[in-house]
Amino acid sequence: MKPFVISKPKIKTKRKWTFEGFLGVPYQAVIGFLIVIPIVLMLIYSFQSRASSQTFTLIFTLDNYLRFINEPIFVSLMAESIGLAFVATLISLLIGYPLAYIIARSNTKTKTLLILLITAPMWINMLLRTKALEQVILMTAPELIGTNVAIIIGMTYVYLPFMVLPIYTVLSKIDMSLYESASDLGANKLQTLIKVIIPLSISGVLSGIMMVFLPSATTLVVPKYLGAGRFLIGNLIENAMIAQGDFGYGSSIALLMAGLILIFLYLIKKVDKYTEGGDE
C-alpha cells in the first residue's frame, strides 16, 4: 500500500509543474534575451576597441575604461554632471524630507490627497514638464536659461517626487507611539527627529538619493532645454552611441553606473537590516 499512496500525489504535482512551468517560458525568454544577453554584450563591447566594435572581432582592450581617467572632455563633463546632480539631490533631500515627514504625519484622508498631488506630475511626460518649467523660467527670469542654476532647478523639479516617495514610505511605517515615548522620556521635537526618526528612515533616504542622483546625472532632457543645449554626460553618451555608433563607450559607462547602483543597493540593504535589528 505504501508506495502507491506516495506515488499518486507525486504524479499530480509533476503534471502541474509542467503546465505552469510552460507558462513561464515567454517570461524567461524575455529575461534571457532582453536582460541577460544585453548585459553580456555590454561587457564584451566595453573591452573592445573602437575599430572592432562593428565587426565583432575579439580584441581585448581597457581603452574604454581608461577614458574615465584619461580623456579631459569626458572627465570634465563627468565632474560637471556629478556636481550638478549632487546639488540637485541635496536640494531635493532638503525639500523632500520635510515634505515626506509632514505627509506621513497627516491624517489618512489628507495623506492620500497629498501623495496624489506630489506624484501626479510624474504621470506627465518628462519632456513636457521640463518644457513647462522652461516656459516659466523664460517668463520670470530668462537670463537663467543656460546656467547651472536653471539646470539644478530643472533636475530638482523633475525628480523631487522620487525623493519624497521612498522617504514617505519608510516614515509612514514608523510607529506613532515612538514619537510619544520619545517625548515621554523627555526628548524635545528636534531631539526626537534627530535621534529617533532620522536614523529609522535612513534606508528611505538612501533610496531617494539613488533615485534622484542617477537620473539627474545622466539626463538628456534637462540640459537640452534648460541648459540651452549644453552638454552633460547623458548627451555625451547619446552622441557617442547614436551619432558615432561607438558601442564600447556607452557600454563601459552603463556598466560603471550599474556597478554604482549595486553598491548603493548593498548599502541600503545593510542600513535597512540595521534598523530592523535595532527595532527589536
Partner 1 sequence: MSKHTFTSKTFLSIVLLLIYIPIISLVVFSFNDSKSLIQFTGFSLEWYVKLFESGTIMDAVFTTILVAIISTIASTLIGTLGAISLTKNKKWLREWILNFNNIPIVNPEIVTAISFFVLFGAFQIERGLMTMIIAHIAFSVPYVVITVYPKVRQMDADLISASSDLGATPLQTLWHVILPQIRIGIIAGAAIAFTMSFDDFVISYFASSGSAVKNISIYLYTLKRGIEPTINALSALIILVIGMKITFDYFKTQKNLMEEEE
Binding to partner 1 (CB under 8 A) within 44-73 occurs at 45, 56
**Per rule CB under 8 A, is residue 139 in the interface with partner 1?**
yes
In the set 90, 91, 126, 187, which binds partner 1 (CB under 8 A)?
126
**Per rule CB under 8 A, is residue 42 in the interface with partner 1?**
yes
Residue 58 vs 280, nearer CB to partner 1: 58
Residue 30 vs 194, nearer CB to partner 1: 30
Residue 170 vs 214, nearer CB to partner 1: 214
Residue 158: CB partners within 8 Å, gap ≥ 6? 126, 129, 130, 133, 219, 221, 222
**Per rule CB under 8 A, is residue 95 in the interface with partner 1?**
yes
**Per rule CB under 8 A, is residue 230 in the interface with partner 1?**
no
Pick from 123, 88, 95, 110: nearest CA to 215: 88
Piece in contact with partner 1 (CB under 8 A), picked from 29-37, 70-78, 166-174, 198-206 = 29-37
Cell of 122: 510624474
DSSP 148-208: HHHHHHHHHHHHHHHHHHHHHHHHHHS-HHHHHHHHHTT--HHHIIIIIIHHHTHHHHHHH
Contact call for residues 68 and 74 (beta carbons, < 8 A): yes
Residue 11 vs 278, nearer CB to partner 1: 11
Which residue do the cell numbers 509632514 mark? 102
Contact call for residues 235 and 224 (beta carbons, < 8 A): yes
Angstrom CA distances, 224 to 9, 119, 155, 229, stand at 63, 24, 12, 4
Piece in contact with partner 1 (CB under 8 A), picked from 59-67, 75-83, 136-144, 167-175 = 136-144
Cell of 149: 542654476
Residues 97-116 interacting with partner 1 (rule: CB under 8 A): 98-99, 102, 105-109, 112-114, 116
Cell of 134: 522652461
**Per rule CB under 8 A, is residue 261 in the interface with partner 1?**
yes
Residue 180 vs 279, nearer CB to partner 1: 180
Q: Under rule CB under 8 A, how many of the chain's residues touch partner 1?
A: 80
Piece in contact with partner 1 (CB under 8 A), picked from 74-82, 143-151, 192-200, 252-260 = 252-260
**Per rule CB under 8 A, is residue 28 in the interface with partner 1?**
yes
Residue 109 vs 280, nearer CB to partner 1: 109
Angstrom CA distances, 236 to 81, 136, 149, 223, 248, stand at 11, 27, 21, 11, 13
Pick from 280, 220, 205, 245: nearest CA to 50: 245
Piece in contact with partner 1 (CB under 8 A), picked from 57-65, 92-100, 194-202, 271-279 = 92-100
